[in-house]
Amino acid sequence: MKTNPFGRLGVVLRALAILLLALAAGSVPRAAHAASAPVAVIAVAGAIGPASADFIVRSLARAADDHVQLAVLELDTPGGLDLSMRSIIKAILASPVPVVAFIGPSGARAASAGTYIVYASHIAAMAPGTNLGAATPIQISAGGKPDAPASGADTQTTESRKQVQDAAAYIRGLAQMRGRNAEWAERAVREAVSLSASEALAQRVIDLTAADVPDLLTKLDGRRVRTLSGETVLSTKNAQIISFTPDWRSRFLATITDPSVALILVMIGMYGLFFEFANPGFMLPGVAGAICLLVGLFALQLLPISFVGLGLIVLGIGFLVAEMFLPTFGTLGIGGIVAFSIGALMLIDTDVPGFGIPVGVVVTLAVVSALFIFGVSTFALRARRRPVVSGDQAMLGSVGVMLEEGDGAGWARVHGERWRVRTAEPRALPARGSRVRVTARQGLTLTVEPLNEGEQR
């Protein structure tokens, strides 16, 4: 039996072709795979707080799940809360997707907490006309004013020095990790200095400048970036841009964590519960009050609050409610307004921009509460002065007409009803048709007395 040499040759050729294809596939750079991957843009505007931190952390997790090649944090922030900033930085450092912190558009800034986020990102960029820096920790001191910068270290409290030292070490570690200017980073913390975009580029604080996001992606094309998952070659020149926007959860969290909104929710909740306890069975004040109070307390536990301020608010509302039920002639009401106002001003224990309660809001709430409480008290006093229209008290002083008289007892018509009547003293009842006044009631029997001649007319 003869063998076919061409058949054997065909098998060899197919094996060789498969081997060449495998080698070709293995030699394709990662940039070819990244070419089709989109770029996620996460716009962050305003103060860094619980809502923005939740949005950024979940957006970075979504970027990893969607296998985007790059996540761009477009920053415009005056700073924010330390805990929120650190949760964002942890998410950036653990992200398998390269993160670019881009301070833009022109006119934006990344002050305080924004500077830390820039230093933590894999790539840092700025648009012309932007600035970053002023990263000194801000906290209300015992005197009610922000602590002095580190240049006046002798006047600083021990607590503020600890905060500055910790913040300086933190940003220095981020600078060393990303190969950026660690010396200037410490100055930004200790001396609250700032830099423009061109100055930041010259001092190796950022990696590049770009006019906008498309220009940024063009300049990043071909750059190698190392993350926890390994080195990646970016192919961003013609990449699709996907914008991540806050969903309902982020918007709801942003609304309730506004200090003014949280204060109003707590106030409504306490008023609702007080009115429900005072009038059991009303239901609506209790249900609405419980919901508002729980949502308000949830928002407050996400914010840096002063428990002394919260206690004064609760005490003030308690005094205002008590004013409606106790004859204190305004003493509790005035005390409640004072306690509420002081507590509201002390409630947020930080001087970070965007997290204070405006004085106008405090004054408005205090005035509205005072008008409401004193208005309710006025109506209650007026109602107390009105004559009683039901029960035993309503019968006293009523005038009726005798229908029948008998031995020591008779019948009279009072308020359109037929009542058995008698006199207080052992004497004859007035004649039929005479008018009588009720002086007492015992069961279904009324004690009456005759009206004098002037009253009879």
Any idea which of 53-57, 90-94, 191-195, 270-274 has the lowest mean pLDDT? 270-274
**CA proximity to 312, closest of 350, 276, 272, 362:** 362
Report the 10 Å Cβ neighbour count for 378. Answer: 11
Any idea which of 78-87, 155-164, 383-392 has the lowest mean pLDDT? 383-392
422 vs 374, residue with greater confidence: 422
Stretch(es) of the chain classified as CATH 3.90.226.10: 25-246
Q: What percentage of the chain exceeds 70 in pLDDT?
A: 80
- Look at residue 21 in the predicted model and tell me its pLDDT: 60
pLDDT tens column, 278-296:
777 778 888 998 999 999 9
Burial of 199 (0-12, 13-18, 19+ CB in 10 A): middle
Handedness of CA 140, 144, 150, 155 (dihedral sign): negative
Q: What is the DSSP string of 278-344?
A: HSTT--HHHHHHHHHHHHHHHHHHTS-B-HHHHHHHHHHHHHHHHHHHS--TTHHHHHHHHHHHHHH
407 vs 443, residue with greater confidence: 443
- Look at residue 152 in the predicted model and tell me its pLDDT: 42
> What CATH code would you report for 25-246?
3.90.226.10
pTM over 0.85: no
pLDDT band at 180 (very low <50, low <70, confident <90, very high): very high
Residue 213 has pLDDT above 50, yes or no: yes
Residue 23 has pLDDT above 70, yes or no: no
The residues, ordered by sequence, that sit 6+ positions from 83 with a Cβ below 8 Å of its Cβ are: 53
Residue 142 has pLDDT above 50, yes or no: no
Distance CA 216, CA 100 (A): 10
Distance CA 405, CA 417 (A): 16
The residues, ordered by sequence, that sit 6+ positions from 91 with a Cβ below 8 Å of its Cβ are: 56, 57, 60, 61
Instruction: Select the highest-mean-pLDDT range: 150-164, 229-243, 319-333.
Output: 229-243
Stretch(es) of the chain classified as CATH 2.40.50.140: 392-456
- Look at residue 155 in the predicted model and tell me its pLDDT: 46
The stretch 344-369 carries a mean pLDDT of 82
> What CATH code would you report for 392-456?
2.40.50.140
Residue 148 has pLDDT above 50, yes or no: no
